[in-house]
Chain A
Amino acid sequence: MTKVIAITGKGGTGKTAVAALMIRYLSKKGKFLLAVDADADTNLPETLGCENVKTVGDAKESLQVEIKKPRPDNPDMNKESILKSKVYEIIEEMPGYDLLVMGRPEGTGCYCYVNNLLRGIMDKLIVNYDIVVIDAEAGLEHFSRKILRDIDDLIVVTDASRRGFQTAERIRELVSELDSNVGRIHVIANKVTDANRQEIVKLAGDLKLNLIGVIPLDPKIEEMDIKGIPLFEIPDDSVAAVEIEKIVQKLGL
């Protein structure tokens, strides 16, 4: 069975970095892995060292244009097969894992039909992999639209701020309203220093949030960020990479 891990959180907490590190570790472990960027505002592909990728949004749009032609060239075309082909074509085949970028939001008009096709395609695609890691925006839109359905582990990344934890609480509420099944919800505290570590652990406890990992502020990440080096190339012994390894083990992946 495919395990689906979604990583979300407030902007700026470093959730994309966490997702990238997790993808890096899992792909090195030899798992059959699909990475999904489901947040149009972030840059998972660049963080992984992959540029100019095409998106599912583009694929959807080009199908939408084709089927909305007043006089289609071939009224009998198999739209499901065409959309599936487009999605399979844009999957970026990286060493050790595949990458799929959901991309831009929808334009005007009705996407019911195209989304319905996409649901079926995503269901079939996902079973190809041992693990799917999704970098999701905090509103979880792709889940509320059921383009992506069930999540085994939802991980909310927060920084050391109270607002980060509040977002975590809100996401927990949001999840209860989703039609999707969500197995477990965890919290990772990121960019933690020795000065605020204790307080964070206490805050998580007060809010009854399941704190699965505490990632220290890693100077290596900041350094790579400034130099524009993809996080994928972080050394194994950097503090963040070590902590991610522990988290993955706790998740039983």
Chain B
Amino acid sequence: MADFPFEISPMFEGERVRKEGMFVELGGPKSLGLELVRAADMDAIVDDQVTIVGPDLKDMEEGKTYPWAMIFNIGGELVEADLESVVERRVHDFINYCQGIMHLNQRYDVWMRVSKDTAGKMDSFEPFGRAVMMLFKTELPFIEKMQVTFYTEQAEVEKQMTEAKEIFKARDARTKDLHDEDVDVFYGCTLCQSFAPTNVCVVSPDRVSLCGAINWFDGRAAAKVDPEGPQFEIAKGELLDAVTGEYTGVNDIAKKLSAGEFDKIKLHSFFDSPHTSCGCFEVVGFYIPEVDGIGWVNREYQGMSPNGIGFSTMAGQTGGGKQIVGFLGIGVNYFYSPKFIQADGGWNRVVWLPSILKEKIDETIPADIKDKIATENDATDIASLKAFLEAKNHPVVATWVAAEEEEEEEEEEEEVAVAASPMMMPAAGFQMPAMPMMSGGSGGGIKLTFKNAKITIDKMIISQKKEKK
């Protein structure tokens, strides 16, 4: 390692420079602090160059706070604009590796302190800049050339800040546009396995974690820093079905993490092999067989759903890391996904939301369906929900008509359905919504799992549906 006036080690990462031991403060709550990483042409970068605009360390007065901006330029054959944010996240780590330098926050909220000890060992920020760039180039070898400019003058920092905010804005717009098909890896999280041992949380650009706290970017950052930690990479593998969101890589991890309990998880499916539900989910979806639609209830809503059950009861039934057909836990952010339960009709299947939730996610509900979704102010039980949907001509109503037409022809099957229904009742109390009715006779079919079940059947008739003329 080249010679630096201070020590460099990950050990210093959480180091706190106290007010009493501080030489100067840069940025922070009382001033302006900025950091930005920009990709640049190799030719435009003078490798290892540190430029200081404004007073340098030796010109600073002890105990004072100065405005601060640092702009890093990176170059290399593999360097592209999309990598800027990945590199920028590491600025915090690498600066903190430097003894006597405390770095907090990110982007336009940067706050740094330089200790008296370290300030006593150098007159300039130059060795500090070189040390940080050395760390970047060692740890992220795709960076071939790097230079940095430090600004410590109010007017100059303000100017950089204005420009940087535009850059961040454009970058955020790009990240918001990232979808499942744009990436090669998803991320898994096992934090909830402590209480839901078979839970498999899969986080993709189009699917936030159920607790709402971890998005794809958090997964990426955490897995990079600690691949053995609770968040880890899942190679997508082969795409089996783009609509349901089924990938070989996700199925493999589902098998592994659930200890064989499930062999498939389809990311954007409600009925068939849905995502497991941990217990932390912000919202739970429930199938309402009487209207062939799906209602959603959030943790904050204290009332009842049209099926007569509240969030806590449903959460109790749904949680524990199982795939429960007819219920699905999600994070609120998933409503904003363009792939929101797209395997099962997406928004056209949504029939009920509590008004507080409907208001909160208003902007993401498609305009043509918004008024057709009931809240507790429109419907509190199945009958009033049915009437509301009918009056508004909700898309699910069309499926009722088709189902009614079939009813006559299905009469002879009814005997079987009645005989079978007691087996579908879970032991734990309330009536579980029946399996989705297959209107029109097509569709993927259903899977029934019995565990520790004792079934006695005198007679069972299974017959094929007659084709409609």
Tell me, yes or no, whether B379 is within 8 Å of chain A by CB.
no
A125–B172 alpha-carbon span in the complex (Å): 31
Contact A112 B211 (CB under 8 A): yes
Q: Which of A69-123 contact B (CB under 8 A)?
A: 70-82, 84-85, 88-89, 91, 93, 98, 108-110, 112-114, 116, 121, 123
A53 at interface (Cβ–Cβ under 8 A)? no
**B106 touching A89, Cβ below 8 Å:** no
Asked if A124 CB lies within 8 Å of chain B CBs, one says yes
A187 and B13 CA atoms in complex are apart in Å by 36
Closest Cβ neighbor of B364 among chain A residues: A70
Q: Are A128 and B14 in contact (CB under 8 A)?
A: yes
**Chain B contacts for A77, CB-based, 8 A:** 106-107, 217
Distance of A75 Cα from B332 Cα, bound (Å): 14
- Please state if A78 and B221 are interface contacts (CB–CB under 8 Å): yes
**Contact residues of B between 294 and 326, Cβ < 8 Å to A:** 299-300
B37 proximal to A (CB < 8 A): no
Partner of A81, one of B16, B106, B299, B336: B106
CB <8 Å contact, B212 and A67: yes
Q: Interface residues of A, CB < 8 Å — how many?
A: 36
A242 contacts partner chain B, Cβ-Cβ < 8 Å: no
The reply to whether B104 and A85 contact each other, CB–CB distance below 8 Å, is yes
Report if A68 contacts B (CB, 8 A). Answer: yes
Cβ contact of B14, chosen from A70, A109, A127, cutoff 8 A? A127
Q: Name the contact of B217 in the complex, choosing from A64, A75, A88 (C-beta under 8 A).
A: A75
Residues of B close to A128: CB separation below 8 A: 14-16
Q: For B20, what are the chain A residues with a Cβ–Cβ distance below 8 Å?
A: 93
By a CB distance below 8 angstroms, the chain B residues around A76 are 85, 89, 171-172, 175, 217, 221
Is B280's CB within 8 Å of the partner chain A? yes
What residues of A have a CB within 8 angstroms of the CB of B223 in the complex?
none
Known contacts A113-B214, A124-B13; is A75 also within 8 Å of B172 by CB? yes
Please state if A124 and B14 are interface contacts (CB–CB under 8 Å): yes
Q: Does chain A have a CB within 8 A of B61?
A: no
Contact A79 B218 (CB under 8 A): yes
CB distance from A109 to the nearest CB of B (A): 6
Most A CB within 10 A of own CB, among B175, B192, B213, B217 = B213
B361 within 8 A of A: yes
For the complex formed, measure the closest distance between the CB of A69 and the CB atoms of chain B, giving whole angstroms.
Answer: 8
Q: Give every chain A residue within 8 A of B412 (Cβ-Cβ).
A: none
A71 to B109: give the CA distance in the assembly, Å. Answer: 20
Most buried by A among B14, B168, B216, B336: B14
B332–A108 touching, CB < 8 Å: no
B328-345 toward A: CB 8 Å interface, digit per residue (1/0)? 000011011000000000
Q: Are A91 and B16 in contact (CB under 8 A)?
A: yes
Residue of B15, B85, B106, B332 with most chain A CB atoms under a 10 A cut-off = B106
Per the bound structure, the CA–CA distance linking A153 and B102 in Å amounts to: 30
> What is the chain B residue whose CB lies nearest that of A127?
B14
Chain A residues lying within 8 Å of B92, measured Cβ to Cβ, are: 78, 81
Is the C-beta of B29 less than 8 angstroms from some C-beta in chain A? yes
Q: Is the CB of A108 within 8 A of B16?
A: no
Residues of A within 8 Å of B150, CB to CB, are none
**Interface residue ranges of A175-226 to B (CB < 8 Å):** none
- Cα–Cα, bound, A70→B298 (Å): 13
Given that A70-B333, A113-B191, A124-B14 are contacting pairs, would A108 and B300 also be in contact in the complex, using a CB cutoff of 8 Å?
Answer: yes
B282 and A82 contact, CB distance less than 8 A: no
Instruction: Check B360 for interface membership: any CB of A closer than 8 A.
Output: yes
Docked complex: B48-92 residues within 8 A CB-CB of A: 85, 89, 92
Tell me which of A67, A84, A98 contacts B213 (CB under 8 A). Answer: A67
CB neighbours of B215 from chain A (8 A): 72, 75
Known contacts being A76-B85, A81-B92, A113-B191, is A121 close to B282, with CB within 8 Å?
Answer: no
Q: Within B209-256, which residues are at the interface with A (CB < 8 Å)?
A: 209, 211-218, 221, 230
Q: Give Cα distance in the complex from A227 to B124, angstroms.
A: 52
Q: Does B287 contact A (CB under 8 A)?
A: no
Q: Among residues 16 to 37 in chain B, which have CB atoms less than 8 Å away from a CB atom of chain A?
A: 16, 18-20, 29
Q: How far is the CB of B443 from chain A (nearest CB, A)?
A: 32
In this assembly, does B439 line the interface, its C-beta being within 8 Å of a C-beta of chain A? no
Q: Which residue of A64, A78, A109, A112 is within 8 Å of B89 (Cβ)?
A: A78
- Contact of A121 with B18 at beta-carbon distance under 8 Å, contacts A70-B336, A81-B105 already known: no
Bitwise, A46-74 to B at CB < 8 A (1) or not (0) is 00000000000000000010011011111
Q: Is the CB of A68 within 8 A of B212?
A: yes
**A149 to B29 Cα, complex, angstroms:** 30
| In the complex, residue of chain A having the shortest beta-carbon distance to the beta carbon of B360 | A70
Whether the pair B192, A74 counts as a contact (CB closer than 8 A) is no
Cβ-defined partner of B191 (8 Å) among A71, A73, A116: A116
A72 cross-chain contacts in B, Cβ below 8 A: 215
With beta carbons under 8 angstroms apart, the residue of A75, A79, A93, A121 that contacts B175 is: A75
| A73 touches which of B15, B18, B172 (Cβ 8 Å) | B172
In the complex, whether B111 has a CB less than 8 A from a CB of chain A is yes
8 Å CB contact of A112 from B13, B280, B360, B361 = B280
Among residues 122 to 150 in chain A, which have CB atoms less than 8 Å away from a CB atom of chain B? 123-125, 127-128
A: residues with CB less than 8 A from B are 64, 67-68, 70-82, 84-85, 88-89, 91, 93, 98, 108-110, 112-114, 116, 121, 123-125, 127-128
20 contacts between A and B (CB under 8 A): A70-B332, A70-B360, A75-B172, A75-B217, A76-B175, A78-B89, A81-B89, A82-B106, A85-B104, A85-B111, A109-B211, A109-B280, A109-B282, A110-B281, A110-B282, A113-B191, A116-B191, A116-B230, A124-B13, A124-B14
Residues on B close to A: CB < 8 A? 13-16, 18-20, 29, 85, 89, 92, 102, 104-107, 109, 111, 168, 171-172, 175-176, 191-192, 209, 211-218, 221, 230, 280-282, 299-300, 332-333, 335-336, 360-361, 364
Q: Which 6 A-B residue pairs are closest in the complex by CB-CB distance?
A: A124-B14, A110-B280, A113-B213, A85-B104, A110-B211, A76-B217
Additional A-B contact list (5), CB under 8 Å, known A76-B217, A112-B280, A113-B213: A68-B213, A71-B176, A88-B102, A110-B281, A124-B13
